[in-house]
Each structure stands twice: as C-alpha cells, then as structure tokens.
Amino acid sequence: MKKIICLLFAALMIAAVGRGPVSEKEPVSDIGEDTVKSSDTEYTKTDEIPVLEGKIIVIDPGHGLNNISAYEPQAPGSDITKPAYVSGTSGKYQTEEELNLSVGKTLYTELIDLGAKTYMTRHGHYSQRSNIERAEFANGLNADICIRIHADGSEDKNKSGISVLVPGENHYEGIDILEQSGKAGEILLENLVRYTGAENAGLSVRNDLAGFNWSKVPVVLIEMGFMSNEKEDYLLSQSDYQEKIAEGIVNGLEEYFLNN
Ligand SMILES: [Zn+2]
C-alpha cells in the first residue's frame, strides 16, 4: 500500500515538474488576459455605452389646441372614421395636453443630451397635426421609435396606474414593427413602474388607433396615470414625478436599443 502511495506521489511530482516551463510562461499570458479583461469590463458597463446616440426618436405629446373639426379613417383603407382631433382628459392642476407637453419636453432634453436625434410632433400647445399626420411625421423621419405620451381619465376615481398601449396586427403587414413595438412596450412599462413606483396597469394591444395603424415605424403609447385619481393627479402635477417618468422612458429606451 505504501509503495502504491509512493508511486502515486512520484507520478504527481513528475507531472508537476513537467508543467514547470508552462507555469513560467503564465505571467506573460496573464498580462495579456488582464488587458483584454479590463477592456471587456469597460465595454460591458451599459451605462457607459452611448446606446441612444444617433437613434431617431419621435416624441408625440398627445393632443394639442386648435379649432379644427375633422374626421380621419381609423386605418388605411378603413371605412371607420374617428375625430382627427380630440381634446384629451384633464385634472385639477392641468389639462392632459399641458401634462403631455411638459413630460415630452423633459424627455426631449434628456434624449438630446444622450445624443439621440430627437423630434417632437409639437413643441407648443397649439397643433394642427392630426393623429395620422403625427404617424406620418415619424414615418417621414424613418424613426427608430415613436413615443406617444398621454394620460388617462376614468369615471372610477379609484382607478390608477401606468399602462402602455401597443399596435395590434389587424392593420399591419410589417410584422417586425409589431414585434418591436411589443418588446419596446413591455420594457418601457417595466421601467416606468420601477422608476415611479406607480401601479402596473398593464400592456394593451390596440387595433383601433389611427396613430398606430398609419405608423410604419415601431410605436408605443404611454398612459402615464389617471388624472381622475386624486393622488395620481397630484403626482402628475409635480415636476420631480414628471422627471421620474422621463427617466423611466430613457432607461427603457436604452434597454430596448441595447437588446434590439
Ligand atoms: Zn390622451
């Protein structure tokens, strides 16, 4: 038994000596690996990658003031028409149109700072752009994504939370847009809820919105909360809460573009 142990020991020693020259070379290859490792580490830090740089992003603050009364088809070739301009909901502190513009402008500044080629369908309260024209504006720019910003209202004052609407398949041939919009919607909703602490009111697929059906680029519509809910209406009137919404959108867009 002892002999066997001795033989095994000797064999191990020979093996160890045999590796000697390789071990001596190791520090050299270690240096090489370290260099690669450190640059790899730097590269994988997502917060340092300018993910949004050069991305074409359209912000569409929902609604706008004008005196025009007109109808437009719900989808290309559809007989169903809808009002081209609707005034939106309102809360105790502001109208939805004002809120949408305020958040849109905050988001615009943040995206510009991050190098995104950012456009807004309206910069002021007055706007003659209908829902179809807003979709065509984003199409004309060949936008990487169009973010429509809205807020909800309900007769049920207890209803609250953020939801994101994405286009359904009824009026689409380009399935890529549907998939991309759906993915973006999920990621944005998750980030919005995380950044604001608001209730998750879910993702909903819609086939009835002209602003979706005329879009040829990925598009999502964010319902930032219920202006009919006392607590949420107050939060939506606060600039720090609006900032959280914008940050949630920015982070969501970074996550979306990093993975798509
Ligand atoms: Zn709205």
H runs (alpha helix) in the chain: 2-18, 20-44, 96-113, 131-140, 175-196, 210-213, 230-237, 239-259
pLDDT at 13 over 90: no
- Split at pLDDT 50, 70, 90, the class of 174 is low
CB 53 within 8 A of CB 112: no
Does residue 83 share a domain with residue 13? no
- Indicate if 132 and 95 belong to the same structural domain: yes
Q: Provide the domain limits for residue 254.
A: 51-259
What does the DSSP 8-state code read for residue 160?
A: -
Is the domain of 14 the same as that of 82? no
Residues 33, 152: one domain? no
Using CB atoms within 10 A of its CB, is residue 37 exposed (0-12), middle (13-18) or buried (19+)?
exposed
Quote the ligand 1 centre to 23 CA distance (angstroms): 68
Strand partners, 226: 152
If asked whether residues 100 and 15 sit together in one domain, one would say no
150 lies in the same domain as 30: no
Alpha carbon distance 52, 124 (integer Å): 25
Same domain, 237 and 120: yes
Angle between the N-to-C axes of helices 239-259 and 96-113, in degrees from 0 to 180, rounded to the nearest 10: 50
Mean pLDDT over 153-175 rounds to 90
How far apart are the CA of 88 and the centre of ligand 1, in A?
5
Residue in the block written with tokens 């009137």? 237
Q: Which residues pair with 85 in a beta bridge?
A: none
| Confidence tier at 172 by pLDDT (50, 70, 90) | confident
Ligand 1 center from residue 117 Cα (angstroms): 25
Backbone angles phi and psi of 204, in degrees to 5: -130, 140
Q: Based on the fold, state whether residues 59 and 30 are members of the same structural domain.
A: no
Distance 219 CA to ligand 1 centre (A): 15
Total-model pTM: 0.81
pLDDT score at 86: 86
- pLDDT bucket at 193, cuts 50 / 70 / 90: very high
